[in-house]
Amino acid sequence: MSEGKILKRQPAFQGKVIDVAVETVELPDGSQVDLEMVHHPGGAAAVALDEQDRVCLLRQFRHASDGWLWELPAGRIDPGETPFNTAQRELLEEAGLQAEDWTDLGIMHSSPGIFTEVIHLWFARGLTSVPVEHEHGEVIEVHWMPLVQALDWCDDGNITDSKTLVGLYRAGALIKNRLEILSEDPGC
C-alpha cells in the first residue's frame, strides 16, 4: 500500500486564516474519495504552571461554541513563526506571562477527519508577569487554579476544549513521571 495523495483540488473558500477545498484523494489502498478539507496553519498552546502548582487558564468567549470556554493560552502560528515562538507570544499576549523553562509536550490533531490543523503543546515554568496584550476581538479573563482542580475539571466536563484537555493531561503525566523518578532516587 502507498501513502495517500491528492489527485485533484477544487478550492471553495480562501479566508484570512483557513483555506477550504474539495480534494480528490487516492487512499493508501488505491481507492479514491472526495474529501472536504479545511487547511489551517496550525497553532501552539502553553500549560503555564507557577511555583504554587497553579495553572493559568483563560475563560474566553467563543462565538462558535455559543459561550465561554476554559482554555490554555494559545493561538495560530503566524507566517515565518515557529510553534515554540507562537507559544511564547500567545502566553505573553493572552496571559501576560513570560517563562524561563519550556518542555515540549508534543502535538495533537484537533479534528483530523476534516482539518489539517496541528497544535503544538508546551509546558512552561519559571513565570514572570508582564502586561497583557489581548488582540482586538478577544474577550478573555485570566484565572489561576490548582493543577489538581483543573484536572478534575477535565474529568467532570467543565473543561471541554480539546487542546486544553490534552495539554493539561500531558502536563499532569509529566509531573507525575518526574515525581516518580525523584522518589526512586536514593539520594533524595
- Cβ atoms of 47 and 168 closer than 8 Å: yes
Task: For residue 51, give the H/E element and its range.
Answer: none
Nearest to 46 by CA among 121, 117, 143, 157: 121
pLDDT of residue 1: 40
- Cβ atoms of 36 and 74 closer than 8 Å: no
What are the domain boundaries of the chain? 5-39, 43-184
Tens digits of residue pLDDT in 8-58:
999 999 999 999 999 999 999 999 999 999 999 999 999 999 999 999 999
Task: For residue 98, give the H/E element and its range.
Answer: strand 97-109
- Cβ atoms of 173 and 83 closer than 8 Å: no
What is the reported pTM? 0.91
Q: For residues 32 and 55, give the distance between their C-alpha atoms in angstroms, rounded to a whole number.
A: 46
Tens digits of residue pLDDT in 59-86:
999 999 999 999 999 999 999 999 999 9
43-184, superfamily in CATH?
Nucleoside Triphosphate Pyrophosphohydrolase (3.90.79.10)
Q: Cα separations (Å) of 49 from 112, 114, 135, 144, 146? A: 29, 32, 23, 9, 9
Tens digits of residue pLDDT in 132-142:
888 888 899 99
Q: For residues 42 and 94, give the distance between their C-alpha atoms in angstroms, rounded to a whole number.
A: 18
Q: For residues 25 and 134, give the distance between their C-alpha atoms in angstroms, rounded to a whole number.
A: 40
